Amino acid sequence: MLPGRRSTHGRRCQEARRRTAPTRAGEISVSATGRILGVDYGTVRIGLAVTDPERIIASPLATYERQNAEKDEQFFVELVRKQEVTQIVVGLPVHNDGRVGEKANEALQFGSWLTNVARVPVVYFDERFTTVEAESHLRGAGLSHRKRRERRDRVAAQVLLNAYLQAGCPSNYEPTSLGGEA
């Protein structure tokens, strides 16, 4: 971006939100403003990134080591409250051809759980190659293997969230087919 120019990411997100269909009874509506939490889902570790309130940039936040359902719930409820999160984007690890496999189904279940405990809307976004891109960035920074491993998940969440912002904050990602295995 050129000096003195403002990014249009936040505006694109707000415009995309205005085009979103109204929610059905009982659903949580997607806000056009506020911080977005990016989630790189894993069964052991979850990478987290967050946007600024204007939804212009995403920054790596933390890597959460999963514990048990009760502690996980406490962590995410508190995180959403402290960061003033109004929306969550969960990375959907679909196959190269767009089909949903076992890991993507786990991410979908996790997103559904997050909606229930955090009481903010969750959308899904294609996360193919985010970990590879994150690893590439970390290698380029000259970090040791240990430091790369410590940061990989949160940087992958940042890559996911930046891609979501670049795409104009679509209301949801539609994979080719649900439940398909490679």
Domains of the chain by residue range: 31-166
Span 161-176, pLDDT tens digits:
998 998 887 765 554 4
Asked whether the predicted pLDDT for residue 144 surpasses 60, the reply is yes
Q: Give the other-Cβ count within 10 Å of 136's Cβ.
A: 13
Beta bridge partners, 93, equal none
Q: Which long-range contacts (CB under 8 A, 24 or more apart) does 174-177 make?
A: 175/92, 175/94, 175/98, 175/99, 175/100, 175/104, 175/126, 176/94, 176/97, 176/98, 176/99, 176/100, 177/98, 177/99, 177/100
Please give the average per-residue pLDDT across 103-129, as a whole number.
Answer: 91
pTM of the model: 0.74
Specify the CATH superfamily of domain 31-166. Answer: YqgF/RNase H-like domain (3.30.420.140)
